[in-house]
Amino acid sequence: MPLTNSPDRYGAVTKTFHWLTALLILSAIPLGLIANDLAHAVRNPDIATTEAEISRAAFLFSLHKTIGVTVFFVALLRILWTIGQTKPGLLNGDKPLEARAAETVHWLLYGSLVAVPLTGWIHHAATTGFAPIWWPFGQSLPLVPKDGGLAHTFASLHHILNWVLWLSLAAHVAGALKHHVIDRDATLRRMLPGRTTAKPTARQPGHAFAALAALLIWAAALGTGGALGYFSHDTETAQTAEAETAEPITETASAKTDTPAPTETAENAWTVTDGTLGLTVVQMGSEVEGQFEDWTAKIVYDEDAGDDGKHGTVDVTVTIASLTLGSVTSDAKGPDYLAAETHHTATFSADLVSRDGGHVATGALTIKGNSVPVEMPFDLNIDGNTATASGGLTVDRRDFGVGGQSEGNVGASVEIRFDLTAER
């Protein structure tokens, strides 16, 4: 079989691209739909789910997205190959309506094979708490920041453009079957393995009308999606459910926390004026960062330590519901994890002591009613009545009854860190 096309037949390379693309698309679509259904079941509070079910949903999403990225690159290669090839003419070019419809569907398919996986990839790169793509370069994209609004927009685009792809694919298959069963021409057979040739009609449709029609269909689809509220950040689309299968993970640790002064007057009391309280977990081998928006710290600190090396005390109260989680917020605050409805706060109470030329906060961290003794080293710099401090520690989430006992999708170790500025 010749590798290249001729005016009356397709070559082996074009046929390989065609059927490879078909195989990938027909694999990715059901994988995405099944994983999406599993994700909604995982999020449904009325349905008991297991770690195995969460892992299954994440696995299917990873497979779906890995195939999607493969489709993107195969489509680009197919387009580059097509540009340099002769295109066999249509066998029904003397039927203007059918011919123009066929060309329009071809434009929609080529465009969708690039746009659908690309919008899904950008959504993946902009969000956190995801099932990873199994390509070494797949988790991020240049110029795509971690941003919840951007992730939502591209999730909506991916969802809407998927409908265009599905309808175009259905029209393409229906057209091929019509040619084969009703018209009994060689349109379908010349895309099958072998040397099937067929003489095109003398009349052929132009590309301008089909390209314009495809653009109008895409515009109409996006306009309809916008009118239905898909681009509103208050609207969840089916595609955002992917992140919902992930374990509780957050997005960023750069938010400012305005912490009130201590409620009691104390010598050497300090008021936190700016700061962040963040955490890092490992999900499916990737580090993901998060933060709490609402926390208060009552600090008493004296530069001159007592005989026991103690400088003062710190009492921190964290509002669990203030954890910023993007699309996995409800999972993290659910009863299997941080249980925000029944355990509203987490606390850390410690003595501030000097040790080995530095400082350590030694005390107890309490989450979900489980109190664990911890020590947190920190760096401190005092300039007059202004102090800056930063530090952190690593805990095992299982000690606090957060998540299952197995590491599963999320590692057991959680890194907690803080940075703050305080005034005396």
What's the mean pLDDT when you consider all of the chain? Answer: 86
Question: What is the share, in percent, of the chain residues with pLDDT greater than 90?
Answer: 62
Is the pLDDT at 93 greater than 60? The verdict is yes
Query: Could you tell me where the DSSP H helices lie in 283-405?
Result: 329-332
Tell which residue, 244, 247, 270, has the closest CA to residue 259.
270
Counting beta carbons within 10 angstroms of the beta carbon of residue 194, is it exposed (0 to 12), middle (13 to 18) or buried (19 or more)?
exposed
> In the prediction, which pLDDT does 46 show?
64
Q: How far is CA 202 from CA 91, 102, 205, in A?
A: 9, 17, 10
> In the prediction, which pLDDT does 36 show?
85
Q: How far is CA 291 from CA 54, 120, 149, 371, in A?
A: 23, 26, 17, 21
Kind of pairing between the strands at 295-301 and 310-319: antiparallel
Measured distance CA(353)–CA(312) in Å, rounded: 7
Residue 318: its H or E element: strand 310-319
Residue 297: its H or E element: strand 295-301
Is the pLDDT at 418 greater than 70? The verdict is yes
* DSSP per-residue letters across 207-228: HHHHHHHHHHHHHHHHHHHHHT
Is the pLDDT at 348 greater than 90? The verdict is yes
pTM for the full model? Answer: 0.68
Tell which residue, 293, 326, 316, 265, has the closest CA to residue 123.
326
Helix (H/G/I), strand (E/B), else coil: 109: helix
> In the prediction, which pLDDT does 234 show?
54
| Domains of the chain, CATH where assigned | 12-244 (no CATH), 269-423 (2.40.128.110)
